[in-house]
Structure 1
């Protein structure tokens, strides 16, 4: 989900994977058209991530499913 807000663009992205670091590694090097769009528009433009730089720290879960 992406939305325009008074403070700028806002996006909520939810992924669930056994190793989210591997997901990001693959996404940063993928040539797939959707992956390229997601990397450029969502990760770089909205979240300010640099795909050639170090990964930001991963969030820690606050709730777990039983």
Structure 2
């Protein structure tokens, strides 16, 4: 997806990350999205979480490296 077509919320979150870092604060975005749109918008401090559900079992959470 071209960067110009990304949803505005992705850019807003990346901007918030930079705003907080500039003030010496931390910002970590935890998302279930694994489509790299947050990275394309400029986010760097990401934790991608992906949930898998087996047919008759509990959900398993997997961290996906950003």
TM-score under structure 2 normalisation? Answer: 0.24
TM-score under structure 1 normalisation? Answer: 0.24
Rg: which structure is higher? 2
